[in-house]
């Protein structure tokens, strides 16, 4: 029997499933996938429809809810919810520097990690659905960010058991290369920088002073790893969140402390930076971030560190150039760079495998455009007009290409709206599905 836990207003059950590492070899190596069932207290025995939540990322475990918080308050009025820890994350068989060492050579590690993209996650979900609901059972899905990428892969691979799909900030470009993703992303990130500096004009000088200090000194974070100017720029990841600009400003508010050796970056500031730039909690985000865009029919050359290559087309992000003049130092966004595997202690052991993944050119396609063109599953998608992470135009092109996709385009929220809107975003999408909006 699954382990059961009661929280205020909810009942939670643990589920663990054995799935093939390689779904094309079902009798080969098995790994575990964990999922947490959540149902409203008093309704645990009701025949409720199921809603599978596909987490953003890649490389992040499912939510750890306490009671009926955030969007769960809305979802639990209608569904029995399943929070999936996608393979390699959370309580599923982990994939990180500590476990991947057992896989052997970098080539073997890269071959292993190649099984952790959206197509494998969808096939895991299908096995989970069959074991929980039966062979003919149907459920709905809710995909946040990368979870929306998984949703389009689901509609490509196994749409027959989907009743409906909800997507928040995650309609991917179907025939878009990694280069095109980043070529569209850098201008959006630049716009978020401009908005931040307009809101907090004092941060322009503060950021320049920090960048100058980092360029002149060997600065170490509390974990012993080096903080370079480029690594400091990675704090721009915050700018795509609803309160991210404010969080970044507070972090920058008082970065220096006086010491006998002169001004130095304070331990408080450095720990705050470490908490934002370390990928110890989700190393798959780094290792697989560009491969989630790789499809051999789109580009057979591999991603080859697309974010780093394309960055050269946008010299405004060159901090050294900014410091030579009087312009602002710009933060970067949701980009993974090869130097991260030289600096982040959680990523250094994965460096060779990550380079092999970047050079791989024979990635299977994730999206079946012919099958999607014949889609019959209703899809209700929130598209955020100013989304820093997922390109609005790519999302709308996909919505036009896939019948049954109905979009709600809004500039009221940022990419994290599902989590911070107190259920308003999901309520809107469910209302669309019920014909109420």
Which residue among 115, 196, 213, 415 is the active-site one?
Answer: 415
Residue 246 annotated as catalytic: no
Q: State how far the alpha carbon of 308 is from the alpha carbons of 102, 117, 206, 214, in Å.
A: 30, 21, 26, 20
3-class secondary structure per residue, 69-84 = CCCHHHHCCCCEEEEE
Which residue among 27, 136, 218, 362 is the active-site one?
Answer: 362
Residue with tokens 């993974």: 336
Residue 15 annotated as catalytic: no
Which residue among 145, 225, 245, 278 is the active-site one?
Answer: 145
Residue with tokens 């899905």: 141
Q: State how far the alpha carbon of 66 is from the alpha carbons of 4, 5, 124, in Å.
A: 14, 11, 26
Rounded distance between C-alpha atoms, residue 387 and residue 385, angstroms: 6
Pairing state between β 379-384 and 405-410: parallel
Give Rg (Cα) of the chain. 22
Residue 362 annotated as catalytic: yes
Rounded distance between C-alpha atoms, residue 94 and residue 132, angstroms: 23
Residue with tokens 């259920």: 423
| 159, 405 Cβ separation under 8 angstroms | no
> H/E element holding 352?
helix 351-359
Number of DSSP helices (H) and strands (E) in the chain, helices first: 19, 11
Rounded distance between C-alpha atoms, residue 143 and residue 162, angstroms: 13
User: 292-314 burial, b if ≥16 CB within 10 A, otherwise e?
Assistant: bbbbeebbeebbbbbbbebbeeb
- Give strand pairing partners of 94: 88
Q: Is the peptide bond before 75 cis (omega within 30 degrees of 0)?
A: no
Residue 94: DSSP 8-state: B
Q: Which residues are catalytic, by number?
A: 145, 362, 415
């Amino acid at each position: 029997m699954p382990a059961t836990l009661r929280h205020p207003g909810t009942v939670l059950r643990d589920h663990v499933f054995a799935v093939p590492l390689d779904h094309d070899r079902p009798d080969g190596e098995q790994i575990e996938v964990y999922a947490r069932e959540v149902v409203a207290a008093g309704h645990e025995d009701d025949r409720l429809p199921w809603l599978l939540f596909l987490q953003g990322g890649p490389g992040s475990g499912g939510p750890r809810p306490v009671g009926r918080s955030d969007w769960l308050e809305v979802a639990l009025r209608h569904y029995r919810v399943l929070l999936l820890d996608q393979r390699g994350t959370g309580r599923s068989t982990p994939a990180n520097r500590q476990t991947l060492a057992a896989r052997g050579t970098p080539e073997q590690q890269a071959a292993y990690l190649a099984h952790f993209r959206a197509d494998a996650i969808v096939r895991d979900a299908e096995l989970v659905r069959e074991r929980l609901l039966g062979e003919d059972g149907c459920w709905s899905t809710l995909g946040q960010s990368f979870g929306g990428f998984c949703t389009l892969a689901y509609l490509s691979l196994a749409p027959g058991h989907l009743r409906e799909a909800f997507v928040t900030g995650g309609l991917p470009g179907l025939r878009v290369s990694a280069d095109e993703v980043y070529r569209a992303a850098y201008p959006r990130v630049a716009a978020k920088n401009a908005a931040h500096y307009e809101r907090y004009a004092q941060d322009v000088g503060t950021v320049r002073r920090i960048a100058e200090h980092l360029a002149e000194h060997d600065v170490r974070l509390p974990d012993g790893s080096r903080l370079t100017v480029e690594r400091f720029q990675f704090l721009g990841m915050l700018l795509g969140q609803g309160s991210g600009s404010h969080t970044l400003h507070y972090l920058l508010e008082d970065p220096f402390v006086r010491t006998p050796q002169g001004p130095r970056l304070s331990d408080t500031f450095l720990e705050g930076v470490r908490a934002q730039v370390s990928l110890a909690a989700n190393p798959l985000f780094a290792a697989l971030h560009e491969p989630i865009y790789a499809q051999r029919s789109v580009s057979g050359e591999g991603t080859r560190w697309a974010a780093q290559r394309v960055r050269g087309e946008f010299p405004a992000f060159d901090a050294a150039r900014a410091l030579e003049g009087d312009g602002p130092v710009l933060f970067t966004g949701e980009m993974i760079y090869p130097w991260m595997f030289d600096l982040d202690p959680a990523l250094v052991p994965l460096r060779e495998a990550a380079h092999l993944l970047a050079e791989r050119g024979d990635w299977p396609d994730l999206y079946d455009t012919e099958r999607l063109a014949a889609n019959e599953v209703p899809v209700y998608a929130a598209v955020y007009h100013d989304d820093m992470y997922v390109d609005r135009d790519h999302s709308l092109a996909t919505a036009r290409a896939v019948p049954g996709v109905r979009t709600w385009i809004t500039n009221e929220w940022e990419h994290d709206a599902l989590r911070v809107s107190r259920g308003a975003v999901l309520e809107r999408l469910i209302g669309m599905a019920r014909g109420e909006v």
